[in-house]
Every structure is written in C-alpha cells, then in structure tokens.
Structure 1
Amino acid sequence: MITFWQQENGKLVQRSESQLNPDLNKWVDARSVTREDIRILEEDFNIEQEHILDILDQDELSRIEREDDYTLIILRLPVFIPDNDISYFTVPLGIILYPGTIITICWTDCEVLRDLAENRIRDLTLSDFPAFIVRILSRSDTIFLRYLKEINRRSATIQSQLERSIRNNELILLLNLEKSLVFFTTSLKSNQILFEKIGKTRIINLDEEDKDWLEDVAIDNRQAIEMADTYSNILSGMMDAFASVISNNLNIVMKRLTVISLILMIPTFIVSFFGMNVPLPFMKSGWLGVTVISILCIVTGFIAKLAFSDRPERSVRRTKHSKEKRKKRG
C-alpha cells in the first residue's frame, strides 16, 4: 500500500495524490508492497527494478548509493510479530531521495514507520531530508534497544520455567530468542557501517547539528551491539547449562533402570533354576512356606524403597548434621 504525506503545522498529514501541495516536500510511504505497488514505483517514480528487488530482499544488508536521479539508502529495522515462531527479527527499509520527495519502501509494517506516521518522533521535519533520515536512524536504534530488553526479560522468564521442569517447548523458545539475537547483531553491525559511511562521505549533505545527532545515533548503535552480544553469550551459556542438566538427568534415569534390571535378574535366575526338575523348598510346609515367602517379599520391597527414595533425605540430614556440628565448633 502506498500513502502520501505532507507536513502542516509541524505534523505529518496523510493526503491523496490529488490533494498534494506542489510547493511542499512530500513523503511517499510504501509498506507491505504488492505487485501493483512495485509497478507504480517503477513507472511513476522511475525507481530501478533492481533496487526495488534489493529492498524487498529479506537478507539485504545496509548500504548507500548515489544514482543519476536519486540517492538510495538501505538500512535494517527491527520488527516484532507475536504470531511468528521467531517474534523478533529485522527487515530492510529502502529510502529513495528525490528533490522534494522522499520515498520509503518496506515489504512489511514495523514500529518505526508507524511512529513516523503517527507523529511520535519529536523535531521531525520534511523540509530537511537529511535531518528526517537521521531521525529515522535514531528511532531505529531506540526500538532495537527496547526489543533487546524485552528479549532479555523473556529469556529470564523461560529460564525460571525451565528450572521447575525441562520441556521441549521452553527449549525451542530459547532457541528462537537466540536466533533473534543473531539477527539483531548482524543488522546492527550492518547499520553501523552505514552510519560511518554517511558521516564520512558527502552523499548526503549534513549540517553540524545533523552530524552531532548522527554521532549520538552511532554511539547508541554500538551500545545496542554490545547488549546483543552480551545477551547472546548469556543465552548460549544458558542453553549449554540446560543441555548438561538434561544429560545428567538422563544418566540418573539410566542408572536407576540398570539397578532395577539387576534386581530383577535375581528372581528371574531363581525362577529359571527351580523351573527345571529340581525339588522346591517349602513344597510340603503348607502355610509356613507362604508366610516365609511373603515376609521375604515385604523385606525386599522395603529395602528397595529405602534404596531409591531415602538417599536424598539421608544426604540432606547428613548435610544439616554436619552444619550443626560446625556451628557448635565455631
């Protein structure tokens, strides 16, 4: 969908193409573009098809180019879609600069573009396109930092759930968050290169105020890169720790199954032995044999119960007893 915007009294106002004031700069917002939108961008705005395809490519990295008729800027923006398996990811945003016209192209919707359209960004002006672009970059970094904090909170919540019971669902959620952090780190580093190129080259004419603002944006972007790296390392360590816990639990279960199989081998051996032509004990003892066998079964069950259920309690009691002795000695 393509919408047209102009600024009145310091606020962006949406207008139809026939209502546009030719004396004012305009912003052409192309979001969730269709085939018809691509055709309009090619024919009406003379944008090369190759550049449109690059902007719509999910894996396109940030860059800036100057063509004969316009200037092309591609940067990565953060996106949050709750229904996706990977809720946090990044998409490329294309910015086309014409004299008096700025065009943004994105294959989906995102919070940065919504903030622009809803006038949530301060000091936003269409009369100064370089300042307009710097405000977009600044808002992008702000959203990146916010999403990184949300990812950290989500991982902490999933960790507390995993400490109670380890299930595949929580592990998959952690894996998806780790993928999101990888996407964020890659996009932030790509944007950092773009910021440095904008500041060092003269493709976009920035005044002193815009340069200072761009330096602040670059600092925030480096902070976001460090946060993403830190959270990614923490999440990787957490995944390794839980993998070790799962392996340890599996070893404990296998140990118990081995003990049970060894215990069951004894009655199996006895039954197999007396299943041959061998005289059985207590054959002519009547109820005495039944009583003796019942007592042996009860004693065996009691010993098995002590062996499997009382070990943790004994270790806890021993630990408490040793702590009390240390306190008395101290």
Structure 2
Amino acid sequence: MIILIEEKKMINEIILNQGIQLIDVHSTDDLNDADRATLIEKYALTNEILDYADDENERARFEYDELNDTYLIVYNVQNENNQTPDMSQRVLPVSFAIKGQQLFLFTNDATHYLKDYLLSAKNHLKIEAQKEIWEFIFNTLDQISSDYSDQISEADVQRNHIQALIKKHHSSENQILELADLEDLTTYLNTAINGNLTVIKQLDLISSGNVQDLHLSKTAREHLHDSLIEIEQIKNQVDLTSDIIDRISNTYNNILNNRTNTTMKVLTIYTIVLSIPTIVSGFYGMNMKLPVADQGWSWVFSLIITVVIILIILWDLHRRDSL
C-alpha cells in the first residue's frame, strides 16, 4: 500500500483584503536555494532583502530599497514557547517586506503565530483602513507590543513572589536562580523593545515627509503615532521592572552577606567562650604548683574561675555592641 504524504508548502499566498496579498514564508531552517529562487524570480525580491530576512541574529531595522521599491522591517517578537530555558531564544527577529500590494512575512516555527495576527487584523481595523497595507503592519506591531506588556506583567508577578519570600525569611538558593533568570529575561526584553522603538521612530520620521517614498494616509499616520506612544510606555515599563529586579537582587545579596557576617560573629563568640575552660583546665593539669591545687575542692575553684572569665568576656562584648 502506498501512503501519500502531502508536503507542506513553505511559501503560501493569502488574500488579506482589498487586493492586499500576504506572502507567508514559513521556514523551519534557513531558506533553501529553491525557495530563494522562487522569491527572487516570481516576486522580484533581492538577495540582500532575503539575507536580512533569513538572519536569525539580525537586529531590528528598517530599510528601503529604492531601486526595487521594497521596504523591509526586521522586528523583535517573542518566542511562541515562552518557557524555553535558553533566555537568548525568548526574543527572536521576524521580517516584513512590502512591495506594492504584497506583504511578505518571514517566520519560523517559533514565530509563525504572527500570521494569525495579520489575518485577524481586519477585525480590528475600520473598513477604510483595510485598504492600506501599512495598517495591517501597524496593527500587528501593536499586538506584538501587547505581548511584551503581558510578559513584563508576568515577570512582575514572579518578582513580587520572590520579594514576599525574602520578606518572610524563606529565601533560598532557588530564589537566587529565579532572580538571575528574571534579570536575564528583562535584559533581553529591554534590548528587543529598544530595537523595536528605534524602528517605530524611523517609520514615524519618514512618514512625516522627510522621505517622500513612504506615503501614509492621515489615519495610518495617526495609527503609527499611537503605536509609538504605546511602545514608549512599554519601554518605560520594562525599564522600571528591570530596575526593581536589580534592586531586589542587590538587597538579597546584602541580606545574604549580613547573614554570613552574623554567623561568623556567633561562631567567633562561641570559639572564645569555649576556649576558656580549656585554658583554665590546662593550667591545672600542668605538673607545677598552683594555688589551692592540693585542696579537695580545687576543681570547684577552677569552675568558678572559668565562669567568672566567661562572664567578663561576655560583658565586654556586650559593652562593645558585639553581641
């Protein structure tokens, strides 16, 4: 019996609305030669655009290829698997290319959920806004920003939990590791959001008329301005979260250092106190004449001396605020 397995297409064409076409380029690994040839020959994309889109370490950027009239946006988004242990993989770049009325989306398995954002965009856009391809992009960028806000809120919940344990003196090595993970996470989120903010600012700048090649409607420019305000608020949010986590980490280190100092102080006091009986009994164990050493109650005398010396030492430590 022959079993036919339908091969999943990597490049799919989807009609968004009003003649706007989404070219969904979903790759598990790097773009292969056949896919590159298709994108170059059929859709007239350049190798430079594809190199940017295919680089998993590409920083957030906005580019315009004047010769081919193609816009490229590289944007940082969150990994769909937000529980991945590798913090550097929590944030990944995706690429949008705009050529005429065609919108190209380059994603992998961890970021392919953005296609759903684009498909659902028309549910959030007014009828007149659905005619403009940039409105679909701005709406998707807004949803990406909302994802960051949710992730930061989750980090705040974890941070509050750790902070409560520290206040209750239930801190342990687990809290140290969790704080370290939160510090790493907020660092990557901060870097990603700053990169995205730079892209939005570039778009806002060129849409103001300094670059004549990007023509946005009044509605689209207002939408872009709202997106800029939102991502600036998220940047402030992640900055605040990161600063608080750093302060908690420093406080935790101070608490641990203070506990260590207290432990060492107690051990030192015990060492001093316990050394007194050894010293006194050592004297009376020597083969030499000592006061009342030949009396039957001399051992009581040695105990009295020991207790007196211990009390004097404890009094002196208390006087120096060392207890």
TM bracket, shorter-chain basis: 0.7 to 0.9
Please give the per-residue CA displacement for 1:161-216, whole angstroms capped at 9, x wherever unaligned.
Answer: 23332222212211221222222222222222211222232444321111111111
Aligned twin of 1:209 = 219
Matches within 5 A, 1:125-274: 128-163=132-167, 164-201=169-206, 202-274=212-284
Contact 2:58 2:74 in 1 (8 A): no
Q: Hey, what's the Cα distance between the residues in 1 that align with 2:98 and 2:25?
A: 14
- C-alpha displacement of 1:132: 1.5
TM-score by length of 2: 0.74
Q: Hey, what's the Cα distance between the residues in 2 that align with 1:206 and 1:120?
A: 18
| Aligned length, in residue pairs | 288
Q: Which structure 2 residue ranges, 5 or more long, are not aligned?
A: 1-8, 207-211, 316-323
TM-score by length of 1: 0.72
Contact 2:65 2:71 in 1 (8 A): yes
Please give the per-residue CA displacement for 1:10-66, whole angstroms capped at 9, x wherever unaligned.
Answer: 7xxxxxxxxxxxx9543233345314x343442110255554444423351332332
CA distance 1:172–1:54, shift in 2 (3 Å): farther
Q: Which structure 1 residue ranges, 5 or more long, are not aligned?
A: 11-22, 308-330
Q: Hey, what's the Cα distance between the residues in 2 that align with 1:137 and 1:131?
A: 10
Letter in structure 1 aligned against 2:84: D
Q: Hey, what's the Cα distance between the residues in 1 that align with 2:147 and 2:194?
A: 15
Instruction: Find out whether 1:89 has 2:90 as its counterpart.
Output: yes
Aligned twin of 1:27 = 22
CA distance 1:104–1:267, shift in 2 (3 Å): same
CA distance 1:115–1:152, shift in 2 (3 Å): farther
Give the stretch that moved more between structures: 225-234 or 251-260.
Answer: 225-234
Please give the per-residue CA displacement for 1:68-103, whole angstroms capped at 9, x wherever unaligned.
Answer: 333211111133521315398322111122334322
Contact 2:98 2:104 in 1 (8 A): yes
Please give the per-residue CA displacement for 1:89-134, whole angstroms capped at 9, x wherever unaligned.
Answer: 3221111223343222234523851642773773468863211211
SS at match of 2:148: helix
Contact 2:141 2:227 in 1 (8 A): yes
Q: Hey, what's the Cα distance between the residues in 2 that align with 1:50 and 1:274?
A: 92
Letter in structure 2 aligned against 1:265: S
Q: Hey, what's the Cα distance between the residues in 1 that align with 2:98 and 2:277?
A: 86
Aligned twin of 2:319 = none
Instruction: Find out whether 1:60 has 2:59 as its counterpart.
Output: yes
Q: Hey, what's the Cα distance between the residues in 1 that align with 2:205 and 2:74?
A: 17
Instruction: Find out whether 1:276 has 2:310 as its counterpart.
Output: no
Contact 2:121 2:136 in 1 (8 A): no
CA RMSD of aligned residues (A): 3.7
CA distance 1:257–1:49, shift in 2 (3 Å): farther
Please give the per-residue CA displacement for 1:211-256, whole angstroms capped at 9, x wherever unaligned.
Answer: 1111111110110011111111111111111111111111110100
- C-alpha displacement of 1:282: 8.5
Contact 2:26 2:112 in 1 (8 A): no
